[in-house]
Each structure stands twice: as C-alpha cells, then as structure tokens.
Amino acid sequence: MKRIIYTRLDGGVSVVSPALDTDEGLAAAQAKLPADVINPKIVDFSVIPQDRTFRNAWRQNESLVQHDMPKCRDIWRGKLRELRRPKMAALDVAYMQADERGDTVEKARIAAEKQKLRDVTADPRIDAAVTPEALKAVMPVELT
C-alpha cells in the first residue's frame, strides 16, 4: 500500500491515504494536495510509524518519517503532567484538610509528595532516551 507524505509549512508531517489503492488513486490524491506542501513523496505504508503516541513529533527525512526526539520528550513530559494532575488534586484536598486540623506533620508529608510529583518531568531518563520506545518506558514510580 502506498501513501503520500509531505511536510507542512508548520514543520509537521501529513500522510495522505488514497481512496483507491491504485496508480490512478495515487495520482488523484497527488492532484488534490495543497499548493503549499513541501517535499511530497510517495512511500510504502511500512515507513510510517504505526504507534501514534508521538505523532506531533514526526519529521520527514526524504522518503522516511522519523521522530524528532526533543519534541518527543516535550510530548512525553506533557503526558506525565496529565497523569499527575489527579494525584496533585487529591493531595491539594488532603493538604487543606490537614491545614484545617492544624496537622503540620501531615502538611509537610503532603508537601514532600507534591514535590515528588512536580519532579517527575525532570527525570533524567527522559533526556537519556534516544528512541520513542525508550521514552515510553520512562514511567516514574510516583505515577504508577
């Protein structure tokens, strides 16, 4: 199966799947590409990553679709922030309850837990990851 890939003006990669998997279908799809496409290429479906976790970090390298790892890291940090959000909210409630009770020991414990959650995006394994698969394996224990 063939696809058309191209770079958009914003630097992202678009993938076009022809309605018909024929030469005519491919030609019809090419004819409908926007005028501002950069470097359109006909490629085999196999060069397109199947895992879309880092879809917004795809970059075109001639006839290949590759991952921009700095952008992948930013996306992963965003994912970690999403995962920590409900945990932080629960700790906020617990902190307020401890404050109402005047429990300074509990407030200090909760504050330490919240700091651990804030620090998950600074995990050095994120910057050390050199592939999207290695990056997806970075899951701080605080979020499990």
Which tens digits make up the pLDDT trace of 6-51? 999 999 999 999 999 899 999 999 999 999 999 999 999 999 999 9
**The pLDDT of residue 84:** 98
Mean pLDDT computed over 106-118 = 98
Q: Is the pTM of this model over 0.85?
A: yes
pLDDT band at 71; cut points 50, 70, 90: very high
CA pair distance 109, 17, nearest whole angstrom: 53
**The pLDDT of residue 60:** 97
